[in-house]
Amino acid sequence: MANTGSVRVRLAPSPTGTLHIGTARTAVFNWLFAKRHGGQFLLRIEDTDRERSKPEFTANILEGLQWLGLAWDGEPVVQSERIGAHRAAIGQLLASGHAYRCYASEVELQEMRERQAAENKPPRYDNRHRDLSAAQEQAYIDEGRQATVRFRIDDGASIGWIDLVRGQMRWVGADLGGDMVIARRAPAATIGDPLYNLVVVVDDAAMAISHVIRGEDHIANTAKQILLYEALGLAMPVFAHTPLILNKEGKKLSKRDGVTSVADFRAQGYGAAALANYMTLLGWSPPEGMGERFSLAEAAAVFDFDRVNKAGARFDWDKLNWLNGQVLHDLGPGQLLEQLRPLWAGEGWLDQANEANEDELWRESLCALIGPSLVTLRDGIDQALPFFRRPELSEAALVQLQAPGARAALQALLELLVEGPLTLEQAQDLLAQAVVAAGVKKGVLMKTLRAALLGSLQGPDLLSSWLLLQPSGEAAARIRRSL
């Protein structure tokens, strides 16, 4: 029976790695659905794989979710602390006959799988210890064998659910690989470490989760979990399986694709708002008229699973870059400065001892100059560099500095140049005078001045760049260097 009442969803990350973009996207859909329905978004840390789970991964996951603006409700549930409840459920399944102990050794199971492979059959447990007599069981125990606990999956079992994304789903027991291990091998009469499908069901039920929203790679698990809900007599949540994120080649996005962890995106200069916006578009189509740029709150006001696609969502860097640029371009110079300040400080460009007001105004002017061409925040390092450090001259700049009229033009400008800041009008006036004095075309002077000041023929607006380099005497120094 489906859970009624208020919406309670959860993200259940395993702290065996950093926060992956796929998990983060699952978090986004859960969060949006919870907000849409005034429900709760809960967090459960699935740390039962003791060897691979690490506290630093938990910290990375929590920090990443916070950074993205995906606040969760209440304290995270730590799965390993609930092992008593998991063992109790396994005990209940053993007592009710839904589960049994399997004494088959690793070697025997390996032989079984090799035989299946030789016969071109899919690997499955052949349920060989399902109906051991008490005497057979005792014989294995006397041999000193350990046992796993397996949950019975009858071949004829028929499993169905209405998936919020994929509609009517149907599975038969025969396709689920035979009786499933729910507790690892342990000495006879004890219960070993409980395994994923069992613990997820027990915990989702205990947390009164109404909707399980997770990636479609869990569909077969869902079929198995439904059988566990039934056997344990627990209320069943509604399921929604979201499409996978695919790389350029149409394969599941993996670590091999390079940047896949939220922390990597952040380090590359992507902002939380743009990344959250982009992840929402990975598999969800906003309603007509909404456009592709929105906040999480705006998406939450209209989010539903009818607009989640069944097909995999291809990761599109161009769109992410576009969104990120849009967010940066909308910032005022002061806001952009606050975002760039830590990066510039990291480069050693901010002189703490000299926090004069003019410096702040100068930095804001620099932000106003470079802001419109930023795609990522890190571009704000590359593009600000020539204003903090005297750049090398590029090949093209060197060629320009030797072009006919170039030297005369710079010479004329240098002679006219006075110390201290300039206004835009004064700078334009000086250029006009220098053009006349040197007898060159204005274009020649402009191009040469750009080469001299910025060391390159590309870059931001020339006059604004000059005005920024003027007060410190750096403009004159760079012109002199070029001569």
What residues line the site for ligand GLU (CB under 6 A)? Answer: 12-14, 46, 200, 214, 218
Q: Are 32 and 296 in contact (CB under 8 A)?
A: yes
Of 61, 64, 32, give the one whose Cα is nearest residue 275. Answer: 64
- Helices 424-438 and 406-416 cross at an angle (nearest 10°) of 130
- In the complex with ligand GLU, the residue whose CB is nearer, 63 or 364, is 63
In the complex, least distance from residue 334 CB atom to ligand GLU, rounded to whole angstroms: 40
Give the neighbor-by-neighbor strand order of the sheet with 146-151.
99-102, 146-151, 180-187
User: Six-digit token pair at 477?
Assistant: 């120094």
- In the complex with ligand GLU, the residue whose CB is nearer, 98 or 214, is 214
- In the complex with ligand GLU, the residue whose CB is nearer, 214 or 363, is 214
Q: Are 455 and 392 in contact (CB under 8 A)?
A: yes
Backbone angles phi, psi at 450, to 5 degrees: -60, -45
- In the complex with ligand GLU, the residue whose CB is nearer, 16 or 402, is 16
DSSP string, 148-173: EEEE---TT-EEEEEETTTEEEEEEG
In the complex, least distance from residue 325 CB atom to ligand GLU, rounded to whole angstroms: 32
Placement of tokens 């700078």 in the chain: 427
In the complex, least distance from residue 41 CB atom to ligand GLU, rounded to whole angstroms: 13
In the complex, least distance from residue 48 CB atom to ligand GLU, rounded to whole angstroms: 9
347 secondary structure, DSSP code? T
Strand partners, 240: 213
In the complex, least distance from residue 149 CB atom to ligand GLU, rounded to whole angstroms: 20
In the complex, least distance from residue 372 CB atom to ligand GLU, rounded to whole angstroms: 40
Q: For residues 462 and 43, give the distance between their C-alpha atoms in angstroms, rounded to a whole number.
A: 52
Of 433, 437, 424, 425, give the one whose Cα is nearest residue 464. Answer: 424
- In the complex with ligand GLU, the residue whose CB is nearer, 197 or 482, is 197
In the complex, least distance from residue 283 CB atom to ligand GLU, rounded to whole angstroms: 16
Q: For residues 222 and 207, give the distance between their C-alpha atoms in angstroms, rounded to a whole number.
A: 17
- In the complex with ligand GLU, the residue whose CB is nearer, 238 or 452, is 238
Q: For residues 41 and 19, give the distance between their C-alpha atoms in angstroms, rounded to a whole number.
A: 17
In the complex, least distance from residue 168 CB atom to ligand GLU, rounded to whole angstroms: 21
- In the complex with ligand GLU, the residue whose CB is nearer, 313 or 406, is 313
- In the complex with ligand GLU, the residue whose CB is nearer, 217 or 461, is 217
Of 201, 98, 186, give the one whose Cα is nearest residue 150. Answer: 98
